[in-house]
Chain A
């Protein structure tokens, strides 16, 4: 199993550009989520999905869109990048919704918005 994969690893954008961060998992997990990691702030939840066709907002959703057309893929879209979106982005997945479940993280995408 490849686990959770993310592409690209690094990206530089100019303000106002759009892009999609890719995330895929091959563990047949129902639950997937996106976090951003900023210095001194831990990780914060952006969006999550409890299954194909179902998505919802986390605590910092503004400026991001998601969709979940298949169980495996959960892309994150930046519609109009802003410098405040400079961060490291992590995708995660878990088998169920249960609070005891381990979440598996991808290697991250480091995004810089100029």
Chain B
């Protein structure tokens, strides 16, 4: 079945460092790809998405490009802030019995130190 693999955490960086969180997927067809973020004590919220190959999703300084050839959707940010500390989930859309569901990676906990 379809699956998502994220780099293992936790990841700890200093403020203004460059961030990469790796995400690769296995899927039949061409699913949409998502990054969701979960801040402490809150539910998940969409950070960015890409719906077809070579699309780049971006939001709040984060970017990710849908790479079909490497089946990847790595999350990047050029200069992280303390407020970016959260758990990040890579996900793909899948069809189960005719309905859409999200298949999630295991999540990567990011901590940014001042």
Contacts and interface: CB of A to CB of B under 8 A. Distances in A.
Majority DSSP secondary structure for residues of B touching A = strand
Task: Please tell me the size bucket of the interface on B.
Answer: 20 to 34
B99 A99 contact: no
A75 interface: no
A99 B43 contact: no
Given A43-B104, A99-B93, A4 B32 contact: no
Contact of B93 (A33, A44, A100): A100
Contacts of B95: 99
Nearest to A40: B106
Contact of A42 (B42, B93, B99, B107): B107
A107 B99 contact: no
Interface in A48-76: 48, 50, 56, 58-59
B12 interface: no
A48 B99 contact: yes
A55 to B, nearest CB: 10
A90 B89 CA distance: 14
Contacts of A99: 31-32, 51, 93-95, 100
A2 interface: no
Contacts of A33: 101
Contacts of A108: 42-43
A73 to B, nearest CB: 17
A90 B43 contact: yes
B103 to A, nearest CB: 8
Which of A31, A43, A108 has the most C-beta atoms of chain B within 10 angstroms of its own C-beta? A43
Contacts of A43: 44, 89, 102, 104
Contact of B102 (A50, A56, A103): A103
Contact of A50 (B34, B43, B49, B99): B99
Contacts of A45: 96, 101-102
Given A100-B51, A100-B93, A102-B46, A56 B31 contact: no
Given A100-B32, A107-B42, A58 B106 contact: no
B42 A56 contact: no
B99 A97 contact: yes
